[in-house]
Amino acid sequence: MKRFFVVLFLLVTLYAHAQQPAGVIFDKLVPLDTCLLRVTYQLKMVTDTLNREERAEDRIVLEIGKRVSRNYSYKIHYADSVGRALADRGVRNSPGVKGTAFPEEVFYDKANRRFQVFYRACIGMPVYVYEEPALPIAWELTSQQKEIAGYLCHEATGYYRGRRYTAYFTMDIPFPDGPYKFVGLPGLILALADDSQDYVWECISLKKGNRQDIIYQKSNPNKNRIVEIDRKRLRKIVEQMYRDLVGFQGTMGKEVYIQGSDGKYRPAKSGEWPPQPYNPLEKE
């Protein structure tokens, strides 16, 4: 078992940043498709259901191609880009992400109706990846309409993995895409929220692509492993990471030592610190 030492304040810092992944230095970009439209959403998230007044925010970018679409956090993308720029100058350093970021990057293979998801865990953790078929959402159209970003949008409701959502889509932009894994409506989703308002996306900009706009997939991360996993196993890993970070490190073959009041180091015990608030997008 690999041992490493952390003092109390550092371990607490790890807990406080459990929702903040680090940037990753990728050494290769794989072109997948040409980007026809780039949509940016403002995402507001409730990370602690006992404190709903406080919301984390991120910007989510949706790149739409004919064959593939890609959803990703701009905060994580920026950290990756900074890390890559530093690496090109001889500095191999992965910068941290500022503030809470949405940790999942989603690729949608339209022909095969499959998702590939890259999950960014906290600093020092690998990048997890899984694939799954697109789960059909039984969207129900309503008579409600409203204008978003200058487009007339129609309301639809649907249930997805433990949450009920209301989406607003426009048939003026005939792409059946949307944020995260929300696809299948007869037009682009410009706004989406679950009934509890824990996750709220709203379009803030749209930009047409050109032949030089490529949808890339990053690969060959430096000093980071990409771990292939299934969705069910990943959900258990992430929940344990939030509930018991010390115990989770133990499952990774790492033994955490802390310095006690007597000045001596001792192994940290599983469950020794309170869990972090855990409010996942997918509840089942």
Residue with more model confidence, 157 or 222: 157
Q: Determine which of 60-74, 136-150, 162-176, 258-272 has the lowest per-residue pLDDT on average.
A: 258-272
Count of C-beta atoms within a 10 Å radius of residue 191: 22
CB-based contact 195:165 (threshold 8 Å): yes
Instruction: With cut-offs at 50, 70 and 90, classify the pLDDT of residue 33.
Output: very high
- Does residue 204 carry a pLDDT above 50? yes
Instruction: With cut-offs at 50, 70 and 90, classify the pLDDT of residue 284.
Output: very high
Q: State mean pLDDT over 236-249.
A: 81
Whole-number pLDDT of residue 222: 57
Whole-number pLDDT of residue 255: 67
Whole-number pLDDT of residue 184: 95
Over residues 65-109, the pLDDT tens digits come to 999 999 999 999 888 877 777 777 877 666 677 788 999 999 999
Parallel/antiparallel/unpaired status of strands 199-208 and 2-5: unpaired
Which residue has tokens 């865990």?
Answer: 121
User: If DSSP states are collapsed to H, E and C, what string results for 89-144?
Assistant: CCCCCCCECCCCCCCEEEEEECCCCEEEEEEECCCCCCEEEEEEECCCCCCEEEEE
Query: pTM here?
Result: 0.86
Q: State mean pLDDT over 120-127.
A: 76
CA atoms within 13 A on the CB side of 196: 18
- Does residue 274 carry a pLDDT above 90? no
Whole-number pLDDT of residue 193: 98
Give how far Cα 203 sits from Cα of 3, 60, 155, Å: 46, 9, 15
CB-based contact 73:59 (threshold 8 Å): yes
- Does residue 221 carry a pLDDT above 80? no
In the chain, pLDDT over 90 holds for what percent of residues? 56
Residue with more model confidence, 243 or 254: 243
Instruction: With cut-offs at 50, 70 and 90, classify the pLDDT of residue 242.
Output: confident
Q: State mean pLDDT over 117-124.
A: 82
Q: What is the mean pLDDT of the chain?
A: 85
Whole-number pLDDT of residue 22: 67
Full set of structural domains in the chain with CATH? 2-220 (2.50.20)
Q: Which residues contact 208 (CB under 8 A, 6 or more apart)?
A: 36, 37, 38
Instruction: With cut-offs at 50, 70 and 90, classify the pLDDT of residue 24.
Output: confident
Whole-number pLDDT of residue 275: 80
Q: Determine which of 57-66, 114-123, 163-172, 198-207 has the lowest per-residue pLDDT on average.
A: 114-123
- Does residue 2 carry a pLDDT above 70? no
* CA atoms of 213 and 209, how far apart (whole Å): 6
- Does residue 234 carry a pLDDT above 60? yes
